[in-house]
Amino acid sequence: MAAESDGAARSAETDKLWNETGVDPVELHLGKDSGFTLRAYRMSDTLPTAKRDEEPEDGVSEDKASKDEVAEEAPEDEDAPLAEDEDADEPDEADFADDEPEEEVDALDAEPEEVPVFLTRKGKLLLFREPEALVAYVKENDDHDLAVIEEYAELQERVAVADIACEEDDTYELDLVVANLRGGHDTWEPELLIKAAEVGRDLGYALKNDSIVGALAPGSPLDDLDETFRVVVDGGLRGKLARRRLRKNDAQQAAIAWRGVIAKLNDHVEWR
């Protein structure tokens, strides 16, 4: 288990480091294990997001070109039943691959927005059970997604083990989410569940996982639940009405949905 972090123990020098680099240490509790990573928020137009996808896209293009050439040379194979079955098995993947370039063009045309950047590498979130391991990795490596921020070189020089002290807002107890939801409406902890949705969205975006993003996207049942929790926390008359609205949500269905999100996050974690 990772060592317990205590925001009150942070020194002025530690606060200065994180404020000046615009990065924060994050502690994630997942099931029986927990660990530390780093997160920053940057404007999307300052990040070379397309760079990581260049090689896979080229590979896909070359592969598709080769298949097209084969199809032209042997058109009679198109009528083979086996080929039709294979095509029928993967329509969604083919559509997704074809749509990727269009989505990137749309992203370039869209207004810049603030987006999360984590210590991720090759589609995996790097989680370190001990602060010492996290600091050693940061100082010795820049082959990961967080290295694209301008302040990374400065962070490598300055960060120390004592600086891996997470504030309460950056500590996420995802291991408690499902049990809390299953406990029923009277036991739900809005702050716990709001924070879970926050980090879930961030990680879904950073890991480019459409399933996680979709589960927490605007209009989804989990997002509607999150919005209701936020109204409850705001209090007042609207908060009282929101508490009544919460009782209309199926606790077991909410727990099942969150269990799926957390399972997908676990699948994308690389423990160190």
What is the Cα 157 distance to its own chain's centre? 27
DSSP state, 128? B
pLDDT given for residue 124 in this prediction: 97
Which tokens hold the place of 108?
Answer: 């370039």
**CB 3 within 8 Å of CB 131:** yes
| Sequence spans of domains, the chain | 7-47+115-271, 51-109
pLDDT given for residue 60 in this prediction: 41
Full-model pTM: 0.73
In degrees, rounded to 5, the angle at the alpha carbon of residue 169 between the alpha carbons of residues 166 and 171 is: 55
Distance CA 182, CA 170 (A): 24
DSSP state, 3? P
**CB 2 within 8 Å of CB 165:** no
Kindly give the parts of the chain with pLDDT less than 70: 1-8, 49-109, 236-237
Distance CA 158, CA 14 (A): 10
Residues 194-230: tens digit of each pLDDT: 999 999 999 999 999 999 999 999 999 999 999 999 9
Q: Which residues make beta-bridge pairs with 117?
A: 40
pLDDT given for residue 90 in this prediction: 42
Q: How many helices (H) and strands (E) does the chain have?
A: 12, 7
Exposure of 268 by Cβ count < 10 A (0-12 exposed, 13-18 middle, 19+ buried)?
middle
pLDDT given for residue 52 in this prediction: 41
Residues 16-44: tens digit of each pLDDT: 999 999 999 999 999 889 999 999 999 98
pLDDT given for residue 242 in this prediction: 79
